[in-house]
């Protein structure tokens, strides 16, 4: 398999020498093309810091992040901006949709500064909408659709430019159980049928049970990982066991 992303000795320290906090401590991970990976851990474990660095929103204190064997933090700013726009897709907990644009207009945003012709843009939007099951709401504004439809619209926006890696930050956090299941089922289809590579940061064992591999972070380090056997209930139970073994209050972990 092709390695899409790799980190080496990834470290992030906040604060001064006198009052510092180590959010990530020599984290090494490797993501292969076509993987569906979950990142879990207690509050403050380093999950969001890791995601922000992988998304190039933040920079590491030490260590490296390689996409396709290129150290992205050694890129020039213009090249990094191009990489972020062309190779990464983002899905956020709070949707980040523009209220003044229709669902369709929100989805096509990543394509607006490309040289893609109108016919190809329409084709991409149609395909993304079909995958996420939102064909009938494309002309509606965000205030006219449900939370689940908003998140699937955001997911369509994240995949419309065919990114190499989709990064999702608590994508089910604002959804009810039915909408969360629908979204996660769409992720599964994206991964299995279209070979999309997906990384999801989540606190929810139910969401993690859809993944093929789950990494657990504790105190800025990789604590352990689980691999799916294909049985979601089995993985769900194992996730619960690992979270319990990691310690912390049950409310904090779940």
Run means of pLDDT, 10 residues per run, the chain, 254 residues: 94 90 96 97 90 94 94 92 91 92 95 87 95 96 96 96 94 93 95 94 96 96 96 96 77 46
Q: Look at residue 116 and tell me if it is in a domain.
A: no
pLDDT at 247: 76
Question: DSSP assignment of 195-239, as one string?
Answer: ---EEEE-S-HHHHTTSSEEEEEETTEEEEEEE--S-HHHHHHHH
Q: Look at residue 158 and tell me if it is in a domain.
A: no
Q: Are strands 30-32 and 88-91 parallel, antiparallel or unpaired?
A: unpaired
pLDDT at 181: 96
Q: How far is CA 135 from the centre of its chain?
A: 23
Q: Look at residue 20 and tell me if it is in a domain.
A: yes
Q: Look at residue 145 and tell me if it is in a domain.
A: no
Q: Look at residue 124 and tell me if it is in a domain.
A: no
Cα distance between residue 169 and residue 49, in whole Å: 11
Q: Look at residue 138 and tell me if it is in a domain.
A: no
pLDDT at 249: 43
Cα distance between residue 53 and residue 170, in whole Å: 16
The SS3 call for residue 33 is: coil
Q: Look at residue 177 and tell me if it is in a domain.
A: yes
> What residues does 8 pair with on adjacent strands?
64
Say which residues have a Cβ less than 8 Å from residue 248's Cβ, sequence separation at least 6. 42, 43
Question: CATH number for the domain including 243?
Answer: 3.40.50.300
pLDDT at 16: 83
What is the residue range of 247's domain?
A: 3-96+165-253
H helices within 90-146, ranges in order? 103-107, 118-132
Tally of domains within the chain: 1
pLDDT at 251: 46
pLDDT at 253: 46
Q: Look at residue 50 and tell me if it is in a domain.
A: yes
Cα distance between residue 193 and residue 220, in whole Å: 34
pLDDT at 66: 96
pTM summary value: 0.91
């Amino acid at each position: 398999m092709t390695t899409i992303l790799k980190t080496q000795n990834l470290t992030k320290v906040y604060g001064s020498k006198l009052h510092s906090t180590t959010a990530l401590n020599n984290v090494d991970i490797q993501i292969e093309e076509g993987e569906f990976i979950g990142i879990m851990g207690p509050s403050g474990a380093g999950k969001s810091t890791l995601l922000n660095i992988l998304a190039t929103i933040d920079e590491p204190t030490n260590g490296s992040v390689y996409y396709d064997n290129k150290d992205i933090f050694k890129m020039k700013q213009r090249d990094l901006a191009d990489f972020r726009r062309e190779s990464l897709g983002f899905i956020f907990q709070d949707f980040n949709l523009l209220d003044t644009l229709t669902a369709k207009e929100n989805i096509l945003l990543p394509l607006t500064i490309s040289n893609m012709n109108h016919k190809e843009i329409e084709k991409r939007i149609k395909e993304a909408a079909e995958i996420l099951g939102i064909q009938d709401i494309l002309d509606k504004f965000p205030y006219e659709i449900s939370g689940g439809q908003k998140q699937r619209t955001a997911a369509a926006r994240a995949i419309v430019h065919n990114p190499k890696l989709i990064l999702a930050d608590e994508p089910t956090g604002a959804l009810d159980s039915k909408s969360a299941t629908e979204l996660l089922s769409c992720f599964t289809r994206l991964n299995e049928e279209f070979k999309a590579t997906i990384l999801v940061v989540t606190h929810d064992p139910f969401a993690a049970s859809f993944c093929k591999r789950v990494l657990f972070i504790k105190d800025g380090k990789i604590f352990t990982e689980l691999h799916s056997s294909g049985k979601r209930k089995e993985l769900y139970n194992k996730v619960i066991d690992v979270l319990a073994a990691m310690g912390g209050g049950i409310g904090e972990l779940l």
